Amino acid sequence: MQAISSVNGRAYPLGLKNVDTDIIIPAVWLKTISRSGLGKGAFESLRAVPGNVFDDPSFAGAPILIAGANFGCGSSREHAAWAMADLGISAVIAPSFSDIFSGNAFKNGLLAIVLPQEAIDRLMEVAQTDAIHIDLETQTVTTSFQDRFEFEIDPFRKHCLMNGVDEIGLTLKSSDAISAHEQKLSASQPWLTPNRI
C-alpha cells in the first residue's frame, strides 16, 4: 500500500447520493482477482451518459471524488475500491459512507473523508474550476479560496494510511515478536503445539 500524506488536484464533482458498489464497478467486471484494469469499468453506467464528469477532459486524472451521502452502499465487493484506485482516485469526500465500503477503502489505501453537506456543496462548486487540497496530517480539506474544512479519522487508520501499511504489513513488522512468542509457547506448553511446522 502506498503512503498518503496529502492529495492535491482536481476533483470529480459527482455529488450523487446512494451510489452503490454496482454503480462503482458493475458485476460483469468481477470475474478477476487482479486489481489492475478495473478502472476501465469504473462508473460504467454513469460514463455511458453523454457529458458525464468522468469523461470530461477538465477532470482527467482527478485524484479526488466528491460524492453524496451513503456512498458505496450495496454489496460488499472490494473491487469497488480497486476500481476507483485504478481510475486514479486517492480520496473520496462525502457526507457519509457505507461501513463496508469505508473499510474496504481503508484496506486498499483509499482515503474516505466525511464532511457535512454544506462543505460538500462548497467543494462541488470549487471543483468545477479549481483544485482541492487534502492534508491527512492536519486532517483538513482546503481550497485556494481560503475554505478550510476539518475532518475526523480513526487514529489507527490515519497511521496506516500515512505509513503505507495495511494489516498484513503491520503483522509483518512484528514477525520477530510473534516468533519469540510462538517459541516461548512451544517450550512452556508443548502439548498445544505438537503438529506445528
The predicted structure's pLDDT at residue 146 = 96
Model confidence band, residue 34 (pLDDT cutoffs 50, 70, 90): confident
CB 62 within 8 Å of CB 11: yes
* Mean pLDDT within 106-120: 97
Q: Who contacts 178 (Cβ-Cβ below 8 Å, separation ≥6)?
A: 171
Length of the chain in terms of residues written: 197
Higher per-residue confidence, 102 vs 182: 102
| Residue 80, C-alpha cell as written in the block | 469497488
Q: How far apart are CA 183 and CA 157, in angstroms?
A: 31
168 vs 48 pLDDT, higher one? 48
Alpha-carbon distance 77 to 105, whole Å?
11
| Pair 43, 62: CB distance under 8 Å | no
- Say how far apart CA 180 and CA 78 lie, in whole Å: 34
Mean pLDDT, residues 50-59 taken together: 95
Question: pLDDT, tens digit, for every residue of 71-81?
Answer: 999 988 999 99
Using an 8 Å Cβ cutoff, are 114 and 94 in contact?
Answer: yes
